[in-house]
Amino acid sequence: MAFHYPNGRKFMPQPAKIKPSHSKEMSYSNRGKTLEDDLNETNQYYLTNGIAVIHKKPTPIQIVDVHYPKRSAAIIKEAYFKQASTTDYNGVYKGKYIDFEAKETKSTASFPLKNFHDHQIKHMQAVTAQGGIAFVIMRFSITDTIYLMPAKELFVYWERMHAGGRKSITIQEVETTSTKIPLGFQPRIDYIKVIDLLIKENF
Amino acid sequence: MAFHYPNGRKFMPQPAKIKPSHSKEMSYSNRGKTLEDDLNETNQYYLTNGIAVIHKKPTPIQIVDVHYPKRSAAIIKEAYFKQASTTDYNGVYKGKYIDFEAKETKSTASFPLKNFHDHQIKHMQAVTAQGGIAFVIMRFSITDTIYLMPAKELFVYWERMHAGGRKSITIQEVETTSTKIPLGFQPRIDYIKVIDLLIKENF
């Protein structure tokens, strides 16, 4: 049975780790991996190779009841998903603060803004005001294309929506304002390479 | 009944919010507030006033079983505390990456190193190597004194312990290598002021 976080996001139980098969036919789409899996692998690669220290934050939970059985670990018996007050990923690259949210869509024509929440936009605005590097990694799952959109571009579309405009970003707008991240083998989604380019252009 | 996280930290259920009393007799020690409460208030003050964007990370939980009742929120029915792979607090100040752990002790003579875990030290080393600002906020709860110790100082004592030396940092060593943070009203623990000084001295 499907269930959802209070923010409408689907709960994805952690899949059992499967050894990678080395079949040449294996493509991204049929690996059954999520954007989150790929970003976690990428971040692990960055950490292992001393490139950056970036982690996904744990899902915030409101704990109500915990049992403490003898001779075994504490069991949480009642808890609820809470809405996060920040984005999901943050960390450090060359001393700079990095902060991003990762989102997927099955749409091919546009990226729906309902994927974002007001508190996430406010958080990215606060980070930007503080000189941090904030952005979104967007995946169009049908075409398996991934873009990095700087937060300041996202703010424009967010404000347009609040002014009564469209509730999504067209694919043409995404292409104009964002940088495509080519998929690699290791790291899978080399977003730091894009950040490097953007830092040179003063983001 | 008391119970503990796998890292030995005590689980503190969220206390009901009590309106602050304005009694002049009220001192820090009898407010019944934890170091975490004070840091959360401080971070909220920094956020509201545009000084810094720093948040406590949620406690990592391994979710095993979730129920999804009709017309109400998903209930987590079985979950366990996981050991965190990073420190508890991070964020951005003037574009710079800030990362710290907050710890308390009831000892007055020294600060026990068992308050830290290997993965936290490794994380702070990775952050430091990446040019981030990593430190520890230590509270001696009996005397209610709070210090900020730069991570590079902590590493020295950690290595001394691993070389067979003492398992704690004496109060004299803390005083020599750390900066005392005076307690204020708003913000309660103004650690950013100390960071400012340390940035000037190249940390």
Q: Is residue A25 part of a domain?
A: no
From chain A, pick out residues whose CB is under 8 angstroms from the CB of B199.
none
Residue B21 maps to a domain: no
Report the pLDDT value the prediction gives residue A203, as an integer from 0 to 100.
Answer: 65
Secondary structure of chain B in HEC code, one letter for each residue: CCCECCCCCECCCCCCCCCCCCCCCCCCHHHCCCHHHHHHHHHHHHHHCCCCEEEECCCCEEEEEEECCCCCCCEEEEEEECCCCCCCEEEEECCEEEEEEEEEECCCCEEEHHHCCHHHHHHHHHHHHCCCEEEEEEEECCCCEEEEEEHHHHHHHHHHHHCCCCCEEEHHHHHHHCEECCECCCCCECHHHHHHHHHHCCC
The confidence score (pLDDT) of residue A1 equals: 45
How many domains does chain A divide into? Answer: 1
Specify if A35 maps to a domain: yes
Asked if the model's pLDDT at residue A15 lies above 60, the reply is no
Binding residues of B for Mg(2+): 86, 88, 101, 120
Question: Quick check: B130 and A95 CB within 8 A?
Answer: yes
Q: Is A18 on the interface with B (CB under 8 A)?
A: no
Q: What pLDDT digit, counting tens, does each position of A177-199 carry?
A: 999 999 999 999 999 999 999 88
Residue A67 scores a pLDDT above 50: yes
Is residue A24 situated within a structural domain? no
Q: Is residue B3 part of a domain?
A: no
Identify the CATH number of the domain in which residue A99 sits: 3.40.1350.10
In-domain check, residue B64: yes
Structural domain span for residue B76: 29-200
* pLDDT at res. A144: 93
**Higher per-residue pLDDT: B30 or A174:** A174
Which of A1, A49, A53, A124 to substitute to test the interface with B, most B CBs within 10 Å?
A53
Residue among B3, B14, B98 minimizing CB distance to A68: B3
Q: How high is the pLDDT of residue B15? A: 47
**CB-based contact, A32 to chain B, within 8 Å:** no
Residues 114-143 of A with CB under 8 A from B: 123, 126-127, 129-132
Q: Is the Cβ of A52 closer than 8 Å to some Cβ of chain B?
A: yes
How confident is residue A84, by pLDDT bands cut at 50, 70 and 90?
A: confident
Q: Inter-chain contact A53–B96, Cβ cutoff 8 Å?
A: no
Residues 93-112 of A with CB under 8 A from B: 93-99
- Using the predicted structure, report yes or no on whether residue A82 has a pLDDT greater than 60: yes
Task: Please indicate, yes or no, if residue B5 is contained in any of the structural domains.
Answer: no
Across chain A, mean pLDDT equals 88
pLDDT at position B202, please? 72
At A16 the pLDDT is 45
pLDDT of residue B85: 87
Checking if the pLDDT of A58 tops 80, the result is yes
Minimal Cβ distance to B95: which of A90, A123, A131? A131
Is residue A92 one of the residues assigned to a domain?
yes
Read off the pLDDT band of A24 (50, 70, 90).
very low
pLDDT tens per residue, range A34-54: 999 999 999 999 999 999 999
- Tell me what pLDDT residue A22 has: 43
Asked whether the beta carbons of residue B127 and residue A78 sit closer than 8 angstroms, the reply is no
Residues of chain B with pLDDT under 70: 1-32, 203
**Mean pLDDT for the stretch of residues A136-161:** 97
- The pLDDT score that the predictor gives to residue B201 is 82
Distance from CA of B68 to the nearest CA of A (A): 6
Q: Name the residue facing A95 among B52, B84, B132 (closest C-beta).
A: B132
pLDDT at A3 over 70: no
Rounded mean pLDDT, A136-165: 97
